[in-house]
Chain A
Amino acid sequence: MGSGTGSSSRTELAAALHRLRSTLARVRAELELAEADGDSPPVGRLRADLSEALELLGAVEAAAFGIVPVLVLDDDERLAELTARGLRRLGYEAESAGRIRALRPHEVVVFDLGLSASLDSAQRATLKAARPIVVTGAADPRSRAIAADLGAVDYLIKPVELTDLAAAINRRMADQSG
């Protein structure tokens, strides 16, 4: 469930650490300025910066330990979370969402084709770049064409057992590190 830690990982680790340091330095500077001026610190900005720092820390960990994150997207958010929980139990770093969000570095996306109609062009491009694993209840040629258009690397027909989904994720990860 991890990728190699070659020179590209070291480069990513260095980049993520650099950005993390910059973000934390920004937070400290905001606090120092607020303290010097006797003002209240800018809570909203600091919270956004700290959220970013935590995301960057995740990127650092992923690069250091070779962890590949997984995002399960389904219009039924509860179903998406049940699947993500099942994957976490198998050892994956899985999260769920009801709509596409900014992806973490190298995130493997499990995408319910039912969401395809709701994608705007930017989201479609994000998804295509991620080369998702598509899960769908339909096996008709039109659905396959939609999946192909989204850059799907795998096409699984519901019901999908977790072990089959895990195998697809592993294939996708092997493809990524190859």
Chain B
Amino acid sequence: MTAKLLVVDDEPRTAELTAEILRRAGYSVDVAKSGTEALERVRMGSPDLMLLDYDMPDMEAPEVLDSLRSGGERIPFPVIILTGARHSPGDQVVGIERGASDFIVKGTDRQVMLARVRGALRERASGPGPVVRGRLHVDAFRGEARLGDRQLKLERRPLLMLQLLANHSGEVVTRSELLELVWGSSYTGFEHSMEQAVHQIRRELREPGWIETVRGIGYRFVIQN
């Protein structure tokens, strides 16, 4: 499925050029030319990711973020802030605290920008919400998983890992991604813990085909009949 992105920038040429770079990378991209227009577009339908200019005449990025949260704890899609000038580190943290996922300084290398967009989209794909894949039902938020009618007894991390893999059914999820998204650490060292989690998932499923090991890279979820 093509990810739907929304680029928000009050400078039309900048907005269109950013959008074109993203379109050429295979994304479906809409453009909004103000904070107000961005909020209207989101009301009509949430994008998978928003790239948001920090300084706009009608609203600054933190105000847009506050409106997007609209009383909720988190924004339901990742927002990457585009800064024209580097703000003080404090401003950057304010953006993150208000719900932004990342920052990109305008003029950053195109490949770097695309890598950050891919990273944020991957992170979103591991978000909460029940997942149903064939006979398997996983709801990490509620702390439960079942295969058909049988409850699976999984600890928190194996459960999160199963949900993440199921969310990416058919795709390889790398060990690095699992470490970051399930263990909350970007460094290795929890690899043994990850292997134990896979062992526990397989033991509980009692059917080995659901989780494939992709040697040296990671794991892949495969739906079983």
A-to-B contact residues, CB < 8 Å: 1-2, 54, 57-58, 61-62, 65, 67, 76, 78-79, 81-83, 85-86, 88-93, 95, 135, 137, 158-162
Contact = CB atoms under 8 A, between A and B. Distances in A.
B186 interface: yes
A56 to B, nearest CB: 11
B176 A78 contact: yes
Given A85-B116, A85-B119, A159 B188 contact: yes
Given A82-B119, A85-B116, 18 more contacts: A1-B89, A61-B85, A65-B88, A79-B186, A79-B187, A81-B115, A81-B116, A82-B186, A86-B186, A88-B92, A88-B103, A89-B102, A90-B93, A91-B90, A91-B96, A93-B89, A158-B187, A162-B186
Given A83-B186, A89-B102, A160-B187, A54 B180 contact: no
B57 interface: no
B186 A137 contact: no
7 contacts: A2-B89, A61-B86, A79-B179, A79-B188, A89-B102, A91-B92, A159-B189
Contacts of A88: 92, 96, 102-103
Nearest to A69: B86
B189 A158 contact: yes
B177 interface: yes
B174 A78 contact: yes
B190 A93 contact: no
B114 to A, nearest CB: 12
B80 to A, nearest CB: 10
A76 B176 contact: yes
A13 to B, nearest CB: 14
Contact of A81 (B86, B96, B119, B190): B119
A82 B87 CA distance: 22
Interface residues of B, number: 28
B72 interface: no
B86 A67 contact: yes
Contacts of A161: 185
A82 B89 contact: no
B134 interface: no
B75 interface: no
Nearest to A53: B107
B210 to A, nearest CB: 24
Contacts of B86: 58, 61-62, 65, 67, 93
Contacts of A85: 102, 116, 119
Contacts of B102: 85, 88-89
A89 B119 CA distance: 14
Give the interface centre of A54, A62, A86, A88 by most chain B CB atoms within 10 Å: A88
A146 B187 CA distance: 20
Contacts of A137: 188-189
Contacts of B39: none
Given A78-B176, A89-B96, A91-B93, A158 B88 contact: no
B21 interface: no
A12 to B, nearest CB: 15
A67 B90 CA distance: 11
Contacts of A62: 86
B89 A159 contact: no
Nearest to B120: A85
B177 A78 contact: yes
Nearest to B93: A91
